[in-house]
Amino acid sequence: MASAAALAAAPPRTPDSSPPADAADSSDVIGPAPSESGAESGASGYFDRPADEILYDIWQAELFKAGDTEVRLSQLVIAILVAVIGIWISRRITVGVRNRLILMKRIDRNAASAIQKVLFYLLAILVVMIALPIAGIPVTTFTVLGGALAIGVGFGAQTLFNNLISGIIIMTEQPIRLGDIVEVGSNHGRIEEIGNRCTRLRRFDGVDVLIPNSHFLENDVVNWTLFDNEIRCAVEVGVAYGSPTRLVEKLINQAVQEQELVDKSKDIVVLFIDFGNDALSFRTTFWTSLERPLDRLRLESEVRFRIDELFKENDITIAFPQRDVHLDSSRPLEVRVLSGGDDSQHAAAVPDPASTT
């Protein structure tokens, strides 16, 4: 009776009511395995989302970590744009400063170029320091990497940095300037460009030579126009022994005086320098303004042409190398004449002194 009453008191089971837990567990165990296409459906479900959500996930994707900071794609792209735009603006600013200084005529073109380059480097470093935090890269990270980076770069790019620093020194101290005529080793020409790493020299034969900037600080360099364009020229000539030396001096001085490019405000010197083996040697020195690379050579050539003309007009001979041949006559030379191809017939051209006494 009691069990029947309890059964009657239990609520009736509806069709929608859930089965007992044990039944559910047993159905999970003995039921069929899940389909293998579940993973594929999950992946396809990712790309089934709206395009803006997918692009946002890519934009915010984590690329790497700088210390404890995550660097995302969005931060890196924005930092690169800031760096590129900042460097472009820095270049425009520095070029404007250089042109302004040149127009004001307070400093020369070389000093203005040096100021431009130094100012550009400083602004570029500032732009990079601003861009790094935008990318999420703390500047303190480079304090750790700085030592290792400095060692690696120091060995690998020592020459590059040497030339770079030398270029800044050249543009600051100006031992050479744009337009200077210099002699570097076997190269003789005009400075056309002073770059960050090397200097371009245009030789007199039209060949451009790239010379590392450090070469100008570590080696001897002849700068013909360092302080001014005035240079001294020299011409030497030798005349035959017996020539009137005072007349030679006068004619050489006349040949130099007739040249328009000679600076008449400075002394023209004619010197009788030596009794040479073959000639009486004279040398004249004079000054000119070196405006073009070949001015000195052309002027010296014109002086030689005129000296030759004046010497011919006054019957003065320009000496040339001579050699005297002396024969030893202490012993007569025996000369034999072959006649008719017969070697047995000989004639003594010079008799023996002993036989004639």
Strands 181-184 vs 230-239: parallel, antiparallel or unpaired:
unpaired
User: What domains can be seen in the chain, in order of their start residue?
Assistant: 73-156 (1.10.287.1260), 176-223 (2.30.30.60), 230-313 (3.30.70.100)
Q: pLDDT at position 20, please?
A: 47
First to last CA, the chain: 192
How far is 117 from 102, CA to CA, in rounded Å?
15
Q: pLDDT at position 16, please?
A: 47
Q: pLDDT at position 307, please?
A: 95
Q: pLDDT at position 5, please?
A: 41
Global pTM reads: 0.49
What residues in the chain have per-residue pLDDT under 50?
1-34, 36-39, 345-350, 353-357
Which of 117, 129, 126 is closest to 91 using CA atoms? Answer: 117
Q: pLDDT at position 255, please?
A: 95
How far is 193 from 179, CA to CA, in rounded Å?
9
pLDDT tens string 253-293:
999 999 988 988 888 999 999 998 889 999 999 999 877 76
User: What tokens does 43 get?
Assistant: 């992946």
Q: pLDDT at position 197, please?
A: 80
- Cα distances from 285 to residues 20, 43, 279, 299, 321, in angstroms, run 124, 93, 19, 12, 24
Q: pLDDT at position 209, please?
A: 92
